[in-house]
Homo-oligomer: A and B are copies of this chain.
Amino acid sequence: MQNKKDAQKLHDLRHSAAHLLAQALCELYPGTLLTLGPVTDDGFFYDFLPPQGTISEADLPAIEEKMKEISARNLPIVQKEISKEEARELYKDNPFKLELIDGIEEDTVGLSCQGDFCDLCRGGHTTSTGDIKNFKLLYVAGSYWRADKDKQALQRVYGTAFETKKELDTYLQRREDALKYDHRRIGKELDLFSFQPEGVGFPFFHPKGKQIFNLLVEYVRRILTQNGWQEIATPIMLSEKLWHQSGHYEHYRDNMYFSDVDDKRYAIKPMNCPGGCLIYKNRPRSYRELPLRMSEIGLVHRHELSGVLHGLLRVRAFTQDDGHIYCTPEQIESEVLREIQTITKAMRDLGFENVSIALSTKPDNAMGDNALWQQATDALASSLKKAGLEYTVQEGEGAFYGPKIEFMIEDSMGRVWQCGTIQVDFFMPENFDLEYVTNEGTTARPVMIHRAMFGSFERFLGILLEHYKGRLPFWLAPVQARVLTITDEQRPYAQKLFDTLKQHNIRIELDESSDQISTQIKAAQLQQIPWMLVVGKKEVANNTITLRHRDGKQEFGLTVDQLLERAQELTPTEMLPIR
């Protein structure tokens, strides 16, 4: 993680790169109307209206050249304050800037100038255009003034900039990889899933994709069982009334789908918790049952604008590895500790070594008792310390209903994904009037802890496919092994090998073509099958197998028992015995 000073420096650099882009546009296309050009997580963009026609990706090299030229001029970047009057005069031909000036409350307006180019700006820049050396324009997109599709259509150019060439090159390589290993592309190549116009944003899982999905679900189920969780299932459709009670209707209805049942309004559930609360309330609960851990592999539907849908990473229906712990405030710490350990272990099992953690504390609009907040937040912090884990504190960034822990995983292309969460909730038990009978016979309100490891199986599968670039580890591969024969003579031996491994629940195929072995290998490699079991004359004679890996490495003279042992070693203990 970079420190705050470095972060500010990078921010300033990218901010200046955006101005550099704007200046280049104005010099190349006089009459260009500039609007806004902010810094983003991994670069910057600028929105503008060209004097005529449109800018395309083919124009980016020329714009970059112009930017380099201005950078070479090494123009000092000077920040000043001018009166609104002056600003209005300066931008009298630019209605966007005039609107921005009108929106400024102060009497003066910030202006950043380099050479004869100026832009409205609050400041935060490098000292000179010469400081901006390692930058790259990435792509062109459409946008709207004020992001409102009823307003003027604009053009947007995205770019990025780094302090060093090495950082820029690493970023560009990862970006290229990310495009190359886009999970939608892998999904198609490996025939894992698809999207159809008949269900926009709703994934269709093909056999091999469903196989991986089921393995992830099975993995979660086994870990939950070990940890004393009990699984439940609640309906997909529940009456609108319930969503009023839970508060979702008020805050979330624009993302919900509705239907009618017997002239009553029902919602397709966007969350599993309200249904879970109904099961909790179905009978009186005793303190002896707490902590009560109820999980649900729950399918939820949430509306997203069609423009933001993105393969499995952003869908309109997904399956949560949801779970709710009902417990006393005193039990929070030990419950959270176990979940933290489980989540970090699971992420390692799934191939993510770098997990970062953030603790979000009480926000200004918090509900609930101060002492309870303090107790819960202390419990979260204490369990993180007991687990021996580093974490950052996001002061005041908890939800209004309780503090939370978030887990971020870094993938093989350096991107960070938020997946696991542990969220304390004082609100839902209140809303649903949840109670338990204490050991003194009185009733008390339990605390509720929401927690998920993967968040969404669909999204996690998308992340996994990109992280592994399609080469899933042995235990998650939809097809784990394929038997290949040098000539048809080895067919009976191959068939026997296939049968034996299948009996031991290895997901295996037999190449029944009479193709040359090189063709067979290529076909298996395209499907990213971890084990190619090559069988020739020698293997039959010695009753052995040659194991060829996806990377071309070969091991000779293996026995079936050795293969089975290897399979065991490659499988997390939770998934044993293999079946």
Instruction: List residues of A whose CB falls within 8 A of some B CB.
Output: 191, 194, 196-200, 202-207, 210-211, 213-214, 221-222, 230-239, 241-242, 257-262, 266, 268, 275, 278-279, 282-283, 294, 299, 301, 303, 306, 316-317, 577, 579
Contact = CB atoms under 8 A, between A and B. Distances in A.
Contact of A317 (B200, B236, B260, B301): B236
A242 B202 CA distance: 14
Which of A237, A238, A242 gathers most chain B CB within 10 Å?
A237
Contacts of A303: 261
Contacts of A316: 261
B237 A211 contact: no
A84 to B, nearest CB: 43
A127 to B, nearest CB: 49
10 contacts: A198-B239, A198-B278, A199-B238, A202-B237, A204-B232, A204-B278, A206-B232, A258-B260, A268-B268, A577-B577
A259 B261 contact: no
B262 A306 contact: yes
A460 to B, nearest CB: 15
A344 to B, nearest CB: 24
Contacts of A275: 199, 204
A214 to B, nearest CB: 7
A210 B236 contact: no
A207 B294 contact: yes
A279 B206 contact: yes
Given A206-B232, A207-B232, A577-B579, A237 B261 contact: no
A233 B278 CA distance: 28
Given A259-B259, A279-B194, A306-B262, A203 B235 contact: yes
Given A207-B231, A236-B301, A257-B260, 4 more contacts: A199-B235, A204-B232, A206-B282, A257-B261
A198 B262 contact: no
Nearest to A317: B235
Given A239-B199, A303-B261, A306-B262, A233 B211 contact: no
B283 A191 contact: yes
A279 B299 CA distance: 20
A258 B237 CA distance: 12
A204 B259 contact: no
Contacts of A234: 199, 204-205
B231 A200 contact: no
B259 A268 contact: yes
Contact of A210 (B232, B242, B260): B232
A209 to B, nearest CB: 8
A230 B266 CA distance: 34
A524 B200 CA distance: 50
Contacts of A241: 198
A199 to B, nearest CB: 4
A257 B266 CA distance: 10
Contacts of A191: 283
Contacts of A259: 257-259, 268
B204 A282 contact: yes
Nearest to A194: B282
Point out which of A210, A235, A294 has the most chain B C-beta atoms below 10 A from its C-beta.
A235
Contacts of A262: 200, 306
B230 A207 contact: yes
Contacts of A282: 194, 196, 204, 206
Contacts of A200: 261-262
A239 to B, nearest CB: 5
Contacts of A232: 204-207, 210
Contacts of A579: 222, 577, 579
A338 B317 CA distance: 35
Nearest to A294: B207
A89 B232 CA distance: 64
A202 B303 CA distance: 23
B279 A198 contact: no
A190 B191 CA distance: 43
Nearest to A315: B235
B257 A233 contact: no
A260 B278 CA distance: 27
Given A214-B231, A306-B262, A579-B579, A237 B317 contact: yes
Contacts of A242: 198
A315 to B, nearest CB: 10
A234 B213 CA distance: 13
A235 to B, nearest CB: 3
A237 B282 CA distance: 29
A196 B261 contact: no
Nearest to A306: B262
A324 to B, nearest CB: 12
A464 to B, nearest CB: 17
Contacts of A239: 197-199
A459 to B, nearest CB: 15
Contacts of A261: 200, 257, 303, 316
A204 B260 contact: no
A301 B237 contact: yes
Nearest to A256: B259
Contact of A235 (B204, B279, B283): B204
A211 B199 contact: no
B268 A237 contact: yes
A243 to B, nearest CB: 9
